[in-house]
């Protein structure tokens, strides 16, 4: 998307999930911490429908899902679980609208991407949608339309925002490698052809016509080149999982203009290093790649390593504030 090169991302933001169940408190924390790049929080502790798969399932158009003992399963009509998911999303959007009055700037919203959704939603026979190419196509089309409507609703409520869409794809590497287990657990589903994966992602990413898309995964071996070709303007990953094997792909992505959302702050309670120490791995990576230190602030957005749903509320607040401080350290001392 040509406009992405002119898009101004914030120096720090969150990944998506937050602890607790109070939408107003979560949005107040997020908007108070990230003055130039807030995000719409997700609160999975509320239960089914607020979890990652259920929340996105509630956005689907003409496809519905319900909770079974084994997980989320596609059904014929919107039931109690779909209504609950949509109700909580509406509550979150009400809180976002309240705390972003007059806001102008980047704003991030998250949803599960088509391949993690296909690996997490069951068909009527109990196998995941990934097992059926036709079901995968239908799911991706339904998701694309649902995301289009969701983005339009956020734009209506926060008219000054420049929206960034984040697609969460933690299962993408497993899908590509044939590592997603069948319902029995004894076998794995066949790997999906890389061209099919890329084309489906390109179609879903294409719903965001007025801003960039970032693809997030806190799994190892994120397929950077594939995501870049599919149209991702940015890739969000856990920096602690990177190895020197990833150097070439990262170097190529950065030189091609891809932004890195660098997950450097632990997602669960524990001691935090000083802000400069938190981004030391990013500086080391930059030196290893031979990239200009001055590019760091222009290319990197600092985030937690993954969502904060498993953290205590106090730690989550500290972790988000730490991201802002670490980003400032990276900008002030890029060497």
**Tell me: the pLDDT tens digits for 228-253?**
999 999 999 999 999 888 999 999 99
Q: How far apart (Å, rounded) are the C-alpha atoms in residues 32 and 253?
A: 32
Question: Nearest to residue 255, comparing CAs of 231, 227, 289, 221?
Answer: 289
**pLDDT tens per residue across span 264-279:** 999 999 999 899 889 9
Cα dist. 67→70, 82, 117, 178 in Å? 8, 9, 14, 25
Cβ contact 330:290 at 8 Å: no
Question: Mean pLDDT across the stretch 18-37?
Answer: 96
Cβ contact 35:104 at 8 Å: no
pLDDT reading at 106 higher than 80: yes
**pLDDT tens per residue across span 137-164:** 999 999 999 999 999 999 999 999 999 9
Q: How far apart (Å, rounded) are the C-alpha atoms in residues 50 and 306?
A: 17
Q: DSSP letter for 148, please.
A: H
Q: How far apart (Å, rounded) are the C-alpha atoms in residues 301 and 264?
A: 10
**pLDDT tens per residue across span 202-219:** 999 999 888 999 999 989
User: Which residues, in sequence order, are bridge partners of residue 261?
Assistant: 236, 301
What's the pLDDT at 138?
A: 96
What's the pLDDT at 183?
A: 87
- Residue 108 φ then ψ, to 5°: -105, 135
* Model confidence band, residue 297 (pLDDT cutoffs 50, 70, 90): confident
Question: Mean pLDDT across the stretch 13-26?
Answer: 96
What's the pLDDT at 6?
A: 61
pLDDT reading at 308 higher than 70: yes
What is the three-class DSSP state of 161?
Answer: strand
Q: How far apart (Å, rounded) are the C-alpha atoms in residues 168 and 331?
A: 27
Find the angle CA(188)-CA(189)-CA(191) to the nearest 5 degrees: 115
Q: How far apart (Å, rounded) are the C-alpha atoms in residues 33 and 10?
A: 12
Find the angle CA(206)-CA(1)-CA(4) to the nearest 5 degrees: 120
* Model confidence band, residue 1 (pLDDT cutoffs 50, 70, 90): very low
Convert 191-206 into a string of H (helix), E (strand) and C (coil). Answer: CCCHHHHHHHHHHHHC
Q: Where are the beta strands (DSSP E) in the chain?
A: 64-68, 71-75, 105-112, 121-122, 161-168, 213-217, 234-238, 259-265, 300-304
Poorest-confidence range of 104-108, 156-160, 295-299? 295-299
pLDDT reading at 110 higher than 50: yes
């Amino acid at each position: 998307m040509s406009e992405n090169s002119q898009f101004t991302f914030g120096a720090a933001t969150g990944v998506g999930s937050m602890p607790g169940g109070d939408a107003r408190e979560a949005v107040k924390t997020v908007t108070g911490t990230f003055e130039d790049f807030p995000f719409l929080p997700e609160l999975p502790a509320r239960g089914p429908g607020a979890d990652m798969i259920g929340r996105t399932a509630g956005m689907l158009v003409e496809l519905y899902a319900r909770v079974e003992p084994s997980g989320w399963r596609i059904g014929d009509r919107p039931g109690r679980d779909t209504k609950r998911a949509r109700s909580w999303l509406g509550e979150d959007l009400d809180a976002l609208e309240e705390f972003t009055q007059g806001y102008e700037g980047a704003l991030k919203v998250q949803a599960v991407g088509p391949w993690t959704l296909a690996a997490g939603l069951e068909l009527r026979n109990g196998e995941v949608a990934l097992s059926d190419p036709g079901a995968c196509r239908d799911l991706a089309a339904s998701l694309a339309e649902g995301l289009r409507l969701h983005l339009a609703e956020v734009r209506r409520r926060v008219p000054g925002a420049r929206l960034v869409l984040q697609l969460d794809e933690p299962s993408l590497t497993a899908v590509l490698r044939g590592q997603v287990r069948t319902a029995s657990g004894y076998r794995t589903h066949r790997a999906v052809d890389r061209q099919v994966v890329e084309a489906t992602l390109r179609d879903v990413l294409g719903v965001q016509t007025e801003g960039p898309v970032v693809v997030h995964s806190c799994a190892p071996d994120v397929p950077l080149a594939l995501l870049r070709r599919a149209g991702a303007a940015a890739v969000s990953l856990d920096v602690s999982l990177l190895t020197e094997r990833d150097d070439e792909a990262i170097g190529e992505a950065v030189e091609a203009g891809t932004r890195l959302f660098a997950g450097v702050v632990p997602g669960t309670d524990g001691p935090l290093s000083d802000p400069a120490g938190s981004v030391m791995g990013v500086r080391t990576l930059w030196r290893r790649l031979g990239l200009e230190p001055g590019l760091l602030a222009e290319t990197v957005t600092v985030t937690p390593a993954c969502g904060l749903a498993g953290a205590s509320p106090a730690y989550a607040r500290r972790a988000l504030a730490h991201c802002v401080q670490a980003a400032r350290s990276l900008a002030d001392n890029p060497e």
